[in-house]
């Protein structure tokens, strides 16, 4: 109620009021300098105070009169009813959601997840997989097929085997979409003949081992690197355990080996610094899993998924099964892309779409898996459910004495 009281007490005096918290009566304080200022946001508080101090007397008086008229015509009972209505409205869907407590101490927070957000089970996805005849599978790399904290960054023999099993099915188009460079991904997946790879978030795309690399933006200007690299280097020198990765299309500041608290603080400072100095450059600055990355605009994993699906459609292969798995913020673009893509009206039915994030957290995906082990188990199950006919042989697994997936279940 303090904005009301202040306004009445200061009637006749041209003073300004700054609300330094998220006030419950914020709809009623439109005549203030700002109705909502986070007291922990130093810059926002400074800007509000500066605006109040430098405002002309005429504007101060106009704002005060507008506010005073509102307070004079709305009593406490009206405020109470409005507050109750806002409270009920903000909580109307809470009973439908599942709430989880995450973290400890000052890091504790409540996450509200939709009840439709559920674990992706092999029993749920296999029937859709077996019904389909043209499948597109998009997989992130770090944190999805290999653990995020793994010292060994190369994929294990198990990962290579599972991917090759999926790629051997002529009905499958499988892509690894990663922020890593094309040289590393080419080396790691050298044994995967038919695996598609999108490196550096899709700046480079290759449809198979023997296909040539395609550039999504061949005319990109990288003059911005001369601005961003010195800034990153200064933060690297001030943050023990951090490093800089220079890609062909991007610059990445890593702080996974730095002190967790200090590294996070430095990351937020660097993010703000880079956004300011690169404001006029055709780039985006994003925070990922223990990284700050600067890359050209118009390069996202979501665009890679759209390009692959569009290419398949142009070839007459309408995808009727789409699976996308990722764990990072950059993977949210993929989830949004496959969930919102307008599919051809010539298809008889909408495709089966499975957008799946790794870990239980707010996401645009509708499904989740707990960790990379669950991801590999799911992919292994899909490989076992593939049609017997492969890219390499006309014989069926039953002719070779193998066991079909139904018998496994």
Among 219, 140, 135, which Cα is nearest to 176's? 140
For residue 352, give the 3-state DSSP assignment: strand
Q: Tell me how many helices (H) and strands (E) the chain has.
A: 13, 15
**Does residue 244 sit within a domain?**
yes
114 part of a folded domain: no
Per-position DSSP letters for 108-165, written without gaps between them: -EEEEE-TT-EE--HHHHHHHHHH-SSEEEEE-SBTTTB-TT-S--SPPHHHHHHHHH
pLDDT number for residue 323 = 94
In a domain, 111, yes or no: no
**What pLDDT was estimated at residue 221?**
86
Q: CA 277 from chain center: how many Å? A: 24
Q: Please give the Cα distance from 80 to 124 (Å, whole number).
A: 49
Element (H, E) at 89: helix 76-90
Task: Give how many domains the chain has, as a whole number.
Answer: 3
Q: Specify whether 81 is located in the same domain as 48.
A: yes
Q: Say which DSSP state 25 is in.
A: T
Residues 130 and 271 in one domain: no
pLDDT tens figures, 195-254: 999 999 999 999 998 899 998 888 888 999 999 999 999 999 999 999 999 999 999 999
| One domain, residues 189 and 70 | no
User: What is the bridge-based pairing of β-strands 172-177 and 321-326?
Assistant: unpaired
- Per the domain annotation, does 263 fall within a domain? yes
Same domain for 304 and 375, yes or no, is yes
Q: Do β-strands 291-296 and 251-254 pair in parallel, antiparallel, or remain unpaired?
A: antiparallel
DSSP state of 403: P
pLDDT of residue 342: 54
Of 256, 307, 258, 264, nearest to 142 (Cα)? Answer: 256
Same-domain check for residues 239 and 290: yes
Asked if 23 and 51 sit in the same domain, the reply is yes
Question: Is residue 379 in some structural domain?
Answer: yes
CA dist 44 and 315 (Å) reads: 53
State whether 76 and 201 are in the same domain: no
Q: Indicate if 264 and 355 belong to the same structural domain.
A: no
DSSP 295-344: EETT--HHHHHHHHHHHHHHTT---SEEEEEE-SGGGHHHHHHHHH----
Low-confidence ranges of the chain (pLDDT < 70): 1-4, 6, 10, 12-37, 92-102, 106-107, 109-113, 115, 149-152, 341-349, 387-409
137 and 202 belong to one structural domain: yes
Question: Which of residues 237, 261, 296 is at a domain's end?
Answer: 296
Cα distances (angstroms) measured from residue 66 to each of 301, 322, 351: 49, 55, 55
pLDDT in tens, 100-122: 666 777 667 666 667 678 889 99
> Collapsing DSSP states into helix, strand and coil, what is residue 87?
helix
**Separation of alpha carbons 361 and 359, rounded Å:** 6
Instruction: Give the angle subtended at the CA of 171 by the CAs of 165 and 175, to the nearest 5°.
Output: 65
Q: Domain boundary at 72, 90, 108, which?
A: 90
Same domain, 253 and 148: no
Residues 270, 285: Cα–Cα separation, whole Å: 10
In a domain? residue 109: no
User: Could you tell me if 309 and 271 lie in one domain?
Assistant: no
On whether residue 95 sits in a domain, the answer given is no
CATH of residue 138: 3.40.50.1000
60, part of any domain: yes
Helical spans, DSSP H, in 146-291: 157-167, 182-188, 225-238, 260-277
Angle at 343 between CA 341 and CA 348, to 5 degrees: 150
Domain of 12, in residue numbers: 2-90
Q: What CATH number does residue 256 fall under?
A: 3.30.70.1020
Same domain assignment for residues 209 and 243: no
Q: Please give the Cα distance from 216 to 310 (Å, whole number).
A: 14
Return the H-helix or E-strand segment holding 287.
Answer: strand 283-288
């Amino acid at each position: 109620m303090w904005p009301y009281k202040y306004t009445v007490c200061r009637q006749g005096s041209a003073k300004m009021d700054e609300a330094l918290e998220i006030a419950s009566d914020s709809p009623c304080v439109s005549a203030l300098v700002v109705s909502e200022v986070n007291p922990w946001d130093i810059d926002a508080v400074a800007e509000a105070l500066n605006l109040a101090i430098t405002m002309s007397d005429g504007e101060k008086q106009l704002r005060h009169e507008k506010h005073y008229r509102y307070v004079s015509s709305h009593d406490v009972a009206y405020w109470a009813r409005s507050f109750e209505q806002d409270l009920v409205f903000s909580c109307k869907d809470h009973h439908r959601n599942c709430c989880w407590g995450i973290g400890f101490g000052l890091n504790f927070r409540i996450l509200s997840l939709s009840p439709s957000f559920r674990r992706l089970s092999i029993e749920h996805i296999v029937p859709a997989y077996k019904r389909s005849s043209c499948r597109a599978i998009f997989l992130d790399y770090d944190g999805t097929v290999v653990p995020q904290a793994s010292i060994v960054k190369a994929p294990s023999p198990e990962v290579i085997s599972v991917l090759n099993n999926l790629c051997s099915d002529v009905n499958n188009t499988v892509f690894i979409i990663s922020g890593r460079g094309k040289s590393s991904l080419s080396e790691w997946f050298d044994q995967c003949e038919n695996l598609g790879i999108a490196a550096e978030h899709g700046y480079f795309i290759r449809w198979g081992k023997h296909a040539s690399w395609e550039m999504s933006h061949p005319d990109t200007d990288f003059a911005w690197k001369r601005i961003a690299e010195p800034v990153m280097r200064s933060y690297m020198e001030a943050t023990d355990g951090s490093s800089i990765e220079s890609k062909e299309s991007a610059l990445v500041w890593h702080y996974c080996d730095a002190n967790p608290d200090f590294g996070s603080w430095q990351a937020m400072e660097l993010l703000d610094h880079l956004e300011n100095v690169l404001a006029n450059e055709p780039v985006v600055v994003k925070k990922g899993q223990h990284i700050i990355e600067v890359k050209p605009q118009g390069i996202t994993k979501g665009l890679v998924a759209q390009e692959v699906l569009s290419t398949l459609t142009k070839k007459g292969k309408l995808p009727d099964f789409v699976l996308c798995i990722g764990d990072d913020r950059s993977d949210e673009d993929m989830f949004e892309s496959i969930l919102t893509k307008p599919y051809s009206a010539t298809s008889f039915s909408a495709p089966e779409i499975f957008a799946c994030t790794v870990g239980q957290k707010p996401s645009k995906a509708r499904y989740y898996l707990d960790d990379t082990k669950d991801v590999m188990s799911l992919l292994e199950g899909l490989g076992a459910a593939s049609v017997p006919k492969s890219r390499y042989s006309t014989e069926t697994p039953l002719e070779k004495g193998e066991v079909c997936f139904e018998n496994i279940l």
